[in-house]
Structure 1
Amino acid sequence: MGEGPVVLCIHGFPDNGSSFRHQLPVLAENGYRAVAVTLRGYEPSSQPLDNDYTMQALVGDVIAWAHELSDDPIHLIGHDWGAAIAYSAAAFAPDKFRSAAALAVPHPTRFGIEGRRHAKQAMLSWYMLFFQLRGVSEWVAQQNDYAFIKWLWRKWSPGWNPPKEDMEDVIATFRQSGVLEASLGYYRAAFRREKPSSQKVSEPHFKLHIPVLAMTGELDGCIDSQIFEQLIYPEDFKAGLRFERIAGAGHFLHQEQPERCNAILIEWLNTHR
Structure 2
Amino acid sequence: MPQDELTLEQWSSGSLTFDVRVSGPHDGEPVVLLHGFPQNSGEWDAVSRRLNEAGYRTYAPDQRGYSPGARPQGVDAYRMDHLVADVVSLLDSRDLESAHIVGHDWGAAVAWHLTGRHPDRVRTLTALSVPHPHALINALRDDPDQRKKSTYMLFFRRRWVSERALLTFDGRLLRRSFDGSGLSRADVDRYVRPLKERGALTGALNWYRAMSGRESAEAAPVRVPTTYVWSDGDLALGRAAAEACGTFVESDYTYVELTGLSHWLPDQAPERIAEIILARVRG
Global fold match (TM > 0.5): yes
**Is residue 255 of structure 2 the alignment partner of residue 243 of structure 1?**
yes
2:152 corresponds in structure 1 to 127
Uncovered stretches (5+) of structure 2, i.e. residues with no partner: 1-22
Q: State the AA in 1 paired with 2:222.
A: L
> Are the equivalent residues in 1 in contact too, given 2:84–2:113 (CA < 8 A)?
yes
* TM-score scaled by length of structure 1: 0.89
Uncovered stretches (5+) of structure 1, i.e. residues with no partner: 195-199
Secondary structure at 1:244's aligned position in 2? strand
**Is residue 137 of structure 2 the alignment partner of residue 112 of structure 1?**
yes
Aligned ranges for residues 242-261 of structure 1 at < 5 Å? Answer: 242-261=254-273
> Are the equivalent residues in 2 in contact too, given 1:115–1:231 (CA < 8 A)?
no
Q: State the AA in 2 paired with 1:111.
A: L
Match of 1:84 among 96, 109, 116: 109
Secondary structure at 1:221's aligned position in 2? coil
Match of 2:244 among 231, 238, 242: 231
> Are the equivalent residues in 1 in contact too, given 2:65–2:204 (CA < 8 A)?
yes
String of CA shifts for 1:30-55, please: whole Å, max 9, x gaps: 11101111011113311124540000
Matches of 2:32 and 2:96, distance apart in 1: 14
> Are the equivalent residues in 2 in contact too, given 1:6–1:69 (CA < 8 A)?
no
Match of 1:174 among 168, 180, 195: 195
1:190 corresponds in structure 2 to 211
Matches of 1:114 and 1:104, distance apart in 2: 14
Say how many residue pairs are matched.
258
Match of 2:235 among 218, 221, 228: 221
> Are the equivalent residues in 2 in contact too, given 1:40–1:58 (CA < 8 A)?
yes
Name segments (4+ residues, structure 1) moved above 3 Å: 202-205
1:2 corresponds in structure 2 to 24
Q: 1:205 to 1:71 in 2, by over 3 A?
A: closer
Matches of 1:115 and 1:121, distance apart in 2: 6
Matches of 2:78 and 2:228, distance apart in 1: 24
Task: Report sequence identity in percent.
Answer: 28
String of CA shifts for 1:246-270, please: whole Å, max 9, x gaps: 1221101121112222111112111
Q: State the AA in 1 paired with 2:273.
A: C
Structure showing the higher strand proportion among its residues? 2
> Are the equivalent residues in 1 in contact too, given 2:232–2:258 (CA < 8 A)?
yes
Q: 1:66 to 1:165 in 2, by over 3 A?
A: same
Q: State the AA in 1 paired with 2:189.
A: E
Secondary structure at 2:209's aligned position in 1? helix
Matches of 2:157 and 2:227, distance apart in 1: 31
Aligned ranges for residues 59-70 of structure 1 at < 5 Å? Answer: 59-70=84-95
* TM-score scaled by length of structure 2: 0.86
Secondary structure at 1:153's aligned position in 2? coil
> Are the equivalent residues in 1 in contact too, given 2:135–2:242 (CA < 8 A)?
no
Q: 1:169 to 1:71 in 2, by over 3 A?
A: closer
2:53 corresponds in structure 1 to 29
> Are the equivalent residues in 2 in contact too, given 1:43–1:176 (CA < 8 A)?
no
**Is residue 274 of structure 2 the alignment partner of residue 262 of structure 1?**
yes
